[in-house]
Structure 1
Amino acid sequence: MGFPGVWMTETESMVYRVVPKCACSTIGQIMYYSDHGSFYDGDIHDAQDGIYKWAQEENQDRIARNVKAHESFAFTAVRNPYARILSSFFDKICGIQRNGNRYRNNLVPLLVQKYGVEVGDPENGFEFDQIKSFRRFLLFARDTIRFRRPMDPDIHWSAMSGHISTFILNGGTYDHIFWTEAFDDGMKTVLDRVKTPHEVDLTAIPRFNESAVHGPERAHPVEEYFDDLSMHLMWEIYHRDFRLFRYDFDNPANKLPVGDIDLDEVHKKLGS
């Protein structure tokens, strides 16, 4: 299996396991800047040079050698599961993608037909019942994750623990896992532990949210999207995320963690 989702700076100063919808665009741009002194011109996910990615077959041996020998500082970032699944819904389901099309082409028509999800469109200002449609999407997400139907789960709503575990299971060790809700503190810990050709001033780094302008804005507070049934579904599919990364399951309105992440526990529980 190797190390899917792993990015590494060309100087091998740091190794990052990408977790979708967890500030990966900003983290990737910081890694790129730390090597080159400038940001990648475009979406860092499209970069084919200037940063090593497992998806680039020619760089897999280099990444595997580094990770298995633990030669670089290795880290990842996580996000409150309530906010993350909402972000996936508004970006990937409701939003128009960079290529001008809907995400995965036939996915939205499938959701409309089988789950009654509405997504609106740019011409009517994306007007639709966001709460009702999101709850129906959440049922679909549960079906993909638990039963792999009507399709395999998508990386953007697969559990964070699943992404993070592949790194451990294949021989990697994390030095740091931080919350995106405390992004500057978490990223500072990474940068303080590595040597890079170019110094990164976190106070001057923009947030690279590549999907922000392509879909509807969230019209309600996070907690209004989650009734008792929705919370039950969230626990069913994300209970390891809530437990391991110390997020508050009982209160969707609280985006902040309620305890510290135990790296030893993460490696033990996700590495077996």
Structure 2
Amino acid sequence: MGFPGTWMTESESLVYRVVPKCACSSIGQIMYYSDHGEFFDGDIHDATGGLHKWALDHSQPKIEANVRAHKSYSFTCVRNPYTRILSSFFDKICGIQRNGKRYRGNLVPMLIQKYGIEVGDPDNGFEFDQIESFRRFLLFARDTIRWRRPMDPDIHWSAMAGHVSTFIVNGGQYDNIFWTESFNDGMDSVLKAVETPVPVDIEAIPRFNESEGHGPKRAHPVEDYFDDLSMHLVYEIYKRDFLLFKYDFENPGNKMPIGEIDLDEVHAKLGN
């Protein structure tokens, strides 16, 4: 199986397991900058050079050799499950993608037909009932994850624990897992642990939010989107994420973690 979703600097200073919707654009650009002294011109997900990625054939032997021997500092970043699934909805379902089209072609028309979801469109300023549509999307996300229908789960809303675990199961070991909600502190702790070819001042780094600006803005506080049924569905899908990464299931309005991540616990529970 190897190490899907794994990126590594060309200098092999850092190894990162990408978790979608968890600051991956910013992290990739910081890694790129730490080798080259400049940012990648464009979306870092499109880069085919300057950064090793498992998706690039020539990178795989280098990543595999490094990770199996734990030669470099390895890390990942996680996010509150409530805000992550909301962000996936606004970005992937309601938003227009980089190519000017809807995400995954016929996905949105299928959701409109089968689940009664509305997504609005740029011409009317994305006017629609966000709360009702999001809750219907949550049913769809649960169906994909629980029963793999009407399609396999998408990487943007499949559980973080699943992404994090492939790295461990295939022989990797994390030195650090930090929270998107305290990004600068977390990323700084990674950078302080290694020597990079180019020093990085985390406070001076711009944010790279490639999903921003091409869809509707969230019109309500996070907690308004989650009634009792929605919270039940979220817990059904993301129970391990809440428990392992120490997020507050009881209060969707609290995006901050309520405990410290225990790396030994993560390796033990996700490593089999």
TM-score (norm 1): 1.00
2:225 is equivalent to residue 225 of structure 1: yes
Q: Distance in 2 between matches of 1:77 and 1:58?
A: 25
Secondary structure at the aligned position of 1:119 is classed as coil
Q: Distance in 2 between matches of 1:214 and 1:99?
A: 11
Q: Which amino acid aligns with 1:90?
A: F
Shift of 1:111: 0.3
Shift of 1:60: 0.4
2:5 is equivalent to residue 15 of structure 1: no
2:182 is equivalent to residue 182 of structure 1: yes
Give the length in aligned residue pairs: 272
Q: Distance in 1 between matches of 2:202 and 2:73?
A: 18
Partner of 2:64 in structure 1? Answer: 64
Partner of 1:147 in structure 2? Answer: 147
Q: What is the aligned-residue identity percentage?
A: 76
2:9 is equivalent to residue 5 of structure 1: no
Shift of 1:129: 0.1
Partner of 1:170 in structure 2? Answer: 170
Partner of 1:247 in structure 2? Answer: 247
Secondary structure at the aligned position of 1:126 is classed as coil
Partner of 2:198 in structure 1? Answer: 198
Q: Distance in 2 between matches of 1:59 and 1:177?
A: 23
Q: Which amino acid aligns with 1:32?
A: Y
Q: Distance in 2 between matches of 1:93 and 1:207?
A: 23
Q: Distance in 2 between matches of 1:244 and 1:266?
A: 6
Secondary structure at the aligned position of 1:90 is classed as helix
Deviations 1:130-184 (A, max 9, x none): 0000000000000000000000000000000000000000000000000010001
Give matches, 1:208-219, under 5 Å.
Answer: 208-219=208-219
Q: Distance in 2 between matches of 1:122 and 1:84?
A: 23
Q: Which amino acid aligns with 1:212?
A: E
Give matches, 1:28-107, under 5 Å.
Answer: 28-107=28-107
Q: Which amino acid aligns with 1:233?
A: L
Partner of 1:112 in structure 2? Answer: 112
Q: Which amino acid aligns with 2:269?
A: K
Q: Distance in 2 between matches of 1:184 and 1:99?
A: 30
Partner of 1:235 in structure 2? Answer: 235
Shift of 1:246: 0.2
Q: Distance in 1 between matches of 2:202 and 2:188?
A: 7
RMSD: 0.3
Shift of 1:202: 0.8
Secondary structure at the aligned position of 2:112 is classed as helix
Q: Distance in 2 between matches of 1:63 and 1:198?
A: 21
Shift of 1:236: 0.4
Q: Distance in 1 between matches of 2:59 and 2:247?
A: 35
TM-score (norm 2): 1.00
Q: Which amino acid aligns with 2:193?
A: R
Unaligned runs of 5+ in 1: none
Q: Which amino acid aligns with 1:138?
A: L
Shift of 1:67: 0.1
Partner of 1:270 in structure 2? Answer: 270
Secondary structure at the aligned position of 1:173 is classed as coil
Q: Distance in 1 between matches of 2:158 and 2:243?
A: 16
Secondary structure at the aligned position of 1:45 is classed as helix
Q: Distance in 2 between matches of 1:224 and 1:93?
A: 19
Q: Distance in 1 between matches of 2:267 and 2:201?
A: 31
Q: Which amino acid aligns with 2:231?
A: M
Shift of 1:197: 1.0
Partner of 1:157 in structure 2? Answer: 157
Q: Which amino acid aligns with 1:132?
A: E
Unaligned runs of 5+ in 2: none
